[in-house]
C-alpha cells in the first residue's frame, strides 16, 4: 500500500469565529499503481486533502502513512516526503522563476542535494516525459514560452524529483482542447510506463472517465463515493445533487435505455457507446 489515511480531520482557524471544518474524518487507502480521479465541487476539500499528502498542511488529527512512514509525526523528514509525493499545483506556470528552463526544472533535484550528472539526466528525462525538446529549449527563458509549454516546464520540475506518487491539481485548467489532450496524453503515457501512482484532481467527467481506474468523490469535507468509474457514474443522481455530472455519453445511454431500449448504460467513452449501440442496433435489425 502506498498511502493510508486514517481518521483525518482538518479545521481552519480553530477556536475563532471563522472556524471551518475542511476535512471530516477521512479514511482512504491508495495502492501502488493506482490512477485515481479526485472529484468534487470547489470547496469540497480536495485541495486541502492533497496538501496533506506531502506534509504542506498538518492535520488537526489523524494519521497519514506514506510508504510505511507516518508523515504526521513530529520530526518526520519532510524533504523525503516531498520527494516521494510530487504535487503539481493549479496553474503551475505561475511559480516559474529561473532564467532558463533547465535551471527551473533542476530546482527540485538540487534541493534534494543530488550531484550534477544526476540532475542533468533527470532534467533530460523529465523534459522528454512532457514532450519538451531538451536541446532547443533548455537554455530558453521559461517566460518566453507559450502557455502550454510553460505548464509543461512546471510539471517537468516536479517529475524531476522522481516521485512515487504524482498529484496533479487540475493540470488542464485554462488550456484549450488541444493543449488539454496533449497534457492528458503525456500523463497517461507516464502512468503506462509503470512505477508511479497518480492522483488527478479534475472537474471534467469526460477526462476522468477515459483515464483513471478509480474515482474518489469528495463533498463537504467528506469522502462521498469511492469506486471504479463505472461504479461511480452509475450513481448519476447523487453526483448531480453534489453539483457534479456524468459524461454526456453515459448520460445519453441512460436516457436511451429509459426510453425502452435494452442496452447497457455502463459506458464511459464514445467508443464504448458505439460498440454497445452497434451490437444492439444490428441485432435488432437482424431480427
Q: How far is the CB of 73 from other proteins (least distance, A)?
A: 18
**Strand order, beta sheet including 69-70:** 20-30, 3-12, 61-66, 69-70
- Other CB atoms within a 10 A radius of the CB of residue 106 amount to 22
Helix 177-192 and helix 116-129, axial crossing angle in degrees, nearest 10: 120
Looking at residue 94, what DSSP letter applies?
G
Q: How far is the CB of 186 from other proteins (least distance, A)?
A: 16
Nearer to other proteins, 1 or 97 (CB): 97
- The Cα 48–Cα 249 span in angstroms is 31
Q: How far is the CB of 157 from other proteins (least distance, A)?
A: 6
Phi first, then psi: what are they for 86, rounded to 5°?
-85, 135
**Strand order, beta sheet including 85-88:** 85-88, 165-169, 197-201, 35-40, 214-219, 222-227
Q: Is 163 helix (H, G, I), strand (E, B) or coil?
A: coil
Q: How far is the CB of 51 from other proteins (least distance, A)?
A: 7
Nearer to other proteins, 69 or 173 (CB): 173
Nearer to other proteins, 7 or 240 (CB): 240
Nearer to other proteins, 7 or 241 (CB): 241
| Interacting residues with other proteins (CB under 8 A) | 41-42, 51, 54, 56, 79, 82-83, 86-87, 89, 92, 94-97, 107-108, 111-112, 143, 146-148, 157-158, 161, 173-179, 181, 203, 206, 243-245, 247-249, 251-252, 255-256, 259, 261, 270, 273-274, 277-278, 281
197-201 and 35-40 beta bridge pairing? parallel
Q: How far is the CB of 112 from other proteins (least distance, A)?
A: 6
Nearer to other proteins, 82 or 138 (CB): 82
Nearer to other proteins, 68 or 177 (CB): 177
> CA 282 → CA 35, 218, 224, 264, 274, distances in Å?
35, 40, 39, 15, 12
Q: 532564467: which residue's cell?
A: 99
C-alpha cell at 47: 485541495
Q: How far is the CB of 241 from other proteins (least distance, A)?
A: 13
Amino acid at each position: 500500500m502506498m498511502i493510508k489515511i486514517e481518521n483525518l480531520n482538518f479545521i481552519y482557524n480553530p477556536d475563532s469565529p471563522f472556524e471551518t471544518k475542511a476535512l471530516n474524518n477521512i479514511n482512504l487507502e491508495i495502492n501502488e499503481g493506482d490512477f485515481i480521479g479526485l472529484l468534487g465541487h470547489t470547496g469540497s476539500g480536495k485541495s486541502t486533502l492533497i496538501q496533506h499528502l506531502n506534509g504542506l498542511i498538518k492535520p488537526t488529527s489523524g494519521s497519514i502513512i506514506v510508504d510505511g512512514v507516518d508523515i504526521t509525526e513530529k520530526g518526520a523528514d519532510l524533504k523525503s516526503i516531498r520527494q516521494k509525493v510530487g504535487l503539481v499545483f493549479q496553474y503551475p506556470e505561475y511559480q516559474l522563476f529561473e532564467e532558463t528552463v533547465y535551471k527551473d526544472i533542476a530546482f527540485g533535484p538540487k534541493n534534494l542535494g543530488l550531484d550534477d550528472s544526476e540532475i542533468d539526466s533527470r532534467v533530460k528525462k523529465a523534459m522528454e516525459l512532457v514532450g519538451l525538446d531538451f536541446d532547443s529549449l533548455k537554455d530558453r527563458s521559461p517566460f518566453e514560452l507559450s502557455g502550454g509549454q510553460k505548464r509543461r516546464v512546471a510539471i517537468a520540475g516536479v517529475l524531476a524529483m522522481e516521485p512515487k506518487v504524482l498529484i496533479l491539481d487540475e493540470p488542464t485548467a485554462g488550456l484549450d482542447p488541444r493543449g488539454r489532450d496533449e497534457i492528458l496524453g503525456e500523463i497517461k503515457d507516464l502512468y503506462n510506463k509503470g512505477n508511479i501512482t497518480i492522483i488527478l484532481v479534475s472537474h471534467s467527467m469526460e477526462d476522468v472517465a477515459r483515464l483513471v481506474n478509480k474515482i474518489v468523490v469528495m463533498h463537504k469535507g467528506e469522502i462521498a463515493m469511492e469506486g471504479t468509474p463505472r461504479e461511480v457514474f452509475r450513481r448519476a443522481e447523487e453526483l448531480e445533487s453534489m453539483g457534479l455530472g456524468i459524461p454526456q455519453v453515459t448520460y445519453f445511454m441512460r436516457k436511451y435505455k429509459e426510453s425502452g431500449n435494452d442496452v447497457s448504460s455502463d459506458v464511459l467513452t464514445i467508443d464504448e457507446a458505439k460498440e454497445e449501440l452497434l451490437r444492439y442496433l444490428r441485432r435488432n435489425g437482424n431480427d
